[in-house]
Structure 1
Amino acid sequence: MTRILPGVIAMAAVVVASNILVQFLFGQWLTWGAFTYPVAFLVTDVMNRVYGVAAARRVVFIGFVVGVICSLIGTQIMGEYGPLVTWRIAIGSGLAFLSAQLLDVAIFDRLREGSWWRAPLASTLVGSSVDTAIFFTIAFAGSLTFLEPANDVSWAGEALPLLGSGPVAPLWVSLAVADWMVKLSLALIALLPFRAIVRKLSPDLA
């Protein structure tokens, strides 16, 4: 446990920071949390590369527990329009994180023997896409209103041009696409710190 403690701390910090920063808007389609949350994939991939699948999964499960705690706290804090975290958001967040991160771990492990960049890039791209799809669908899709009937998410279903200029789609789809684009961009950028951190922690693997 001691050897992966930095990864555990980093994952916990990312989860906590993202849960806080998601409350603050960045432009029309994003929150500040969109820029911190993808770092979780970097943490997972570094742990996987340096310490292996079991260690990476342990870090993921600890991050999941921290996320659940943050969500439970958020459901008890009342904001201007109700709880800071609704049950749909809590469920979507937890399922998205766990599913995407474990998928990331599995894909990374299958590709670890290839070029150094292939495993972190492929696993993060797939994991990020799954994360976005699960979270935004559960949290805001009108077809899943039964998950929390008392939570009015009709605002998320407002028909608007996609990202302000594309085909008409529910607002939550624009939010999801914007979030997904940030994740994909950061997946490419994260290759640089991934390479640097792995070289520092385990030069023979770089």
Structure 2
Amino acid sequence: MKRYLPGVLAMAAIVVASNILVQYLFGQWLTWGAFTYPFAFLVTDVTNRLQGPRAARGVVVAGFVVGIVCSLIGSQIIGEFGPLVSFRVALGSGAAFLAAQLTDVTVFNALRRDRWWKAPLVSTLIGASLDTAIFFTTAFSLQLAWLEPGNDVSWANEMLPLLSFGPMVPLWISLACADWCVKIALAVIALAPFRAFTWRKTPRLA
């Protein structure tokens, strides 16, 4: 269990930091949390490469538990527009994290014997895309308003040009696209620290 501790601590730190930083806007479409959360995929992939998929799944579960705790705390803090974390946001966040990270582990493991960059890049691209789709749809789509009838998400469904210059879409689509773009950019950037952390390490399958 001790050998999993670095991954667990790193994942917990990223989840906590992201839950705090998501409260602060960065420009029109993003929050500061968008720049910390994608590194959760780096932690998962490094753990997978060094210690295998079982350890990676353990780190994911630890991050999920920390995320639940953060959501529970956030739901008890009342801001200007109600609880900082609504039920839909908490549900979307938890479901997206678990589905995306476990998918990342599975895809990475399937590609682990290919060239060193392929497994972390492809698994993160797929996981990040899944994460963005699940979170923003669950948290803000009008079609899922029945999940939390008392939560007014009309603000997120205001029709605006996509990222200020595209076709007219609900605001949450622009937020999701901006978030996805950051995840993809950081997936490429994270290849450098991934290589540094795993250089000359023997892949494990246990």
Q: TM-score, normalised by structure 1?
A: 0.97
Residue equivalent to 1:112: 112
Percent identity of equivalent pairs = 68
Residue-by-residue CA offset, 1:62-99 (whole Å, 9 max, x unaligned): 00000001001100000111100000000000000000
Distance 1:107 1:118 in 2: 10
Whether 1:160 aligns to 2:154 is: no
| Rounded Cα–Cα distance in structure 2 between residues aligned with 1:204 and 1:129 | 29
The residue number in structure 1 matching 2:59 is: 59
CA contact (8 A) 2:121 2:187 kept: yes
Q: Give the secondary-structure state (helix, strand or coil) at the position aligned to 1:149.
A: coil
Aligned to 1:47: 47
Equivalents in 1 of 2:9, 2:175: separation in Å?
29
User: Could you tell me which residue of structure 2 aligns to residue 183 of structure 1?
Assistant: 183
1:78 corresponds in structure 2 to 78
What is the alpha-carbon distance in structure 2 between the residues aligned to residue 163 and residue 186 of structure 1?
19
User: Any idea what SS the aligned residue of 1:160 has?
Assistant: strand
* Alpha-carbon distance between aligned partners in 2 of 1:73 and 1:138, rounded to the nearest angstrom: 20
Matched, 1:170 2:170: yes
Q: Report the 3-state secondary structure (helix = DSSP H, G, I; strand = E; otherwise coil) of the residue aligned with 2:182.
A: helix
Shift, 1:204, TM fit: 4.2
In the TM superposition, what is the alpha-carbon distance from 1:198 to its structure 2 partner? 1.1
| Correspondence for 1:141 | 141
**Deviation by residue 1:14-61 (Cα, 9 ceiling, x = unmatched):** 000000000000000000000000000000000000000000000000
Q: Which runs of 5+ in 2 are unaligned?
A: none
- Measure the CA separation in 1 of the matches of 2:201 and 2:67: 32
How many correspondences in the alignment?
203
Call closer, same or farther: CA 1:203–1:53 in 2, change over 3 Å: closer
Cα deviation, 1:88-119, whole Å, max 9, x if unaligned, reads 00000000000000000000000000000000
Identify the residue that residue 6 of structure 1 maps to in structure 2: 6
1:94 is aligned to 94
Aligned residue number for residue 30 of structure 1: 30
Shift in Å, 1:203:
3.5
Moved over 4 A (4+): none
Task: Provide the TM-score with structure 2 as the length reference.
Answer: 0.97
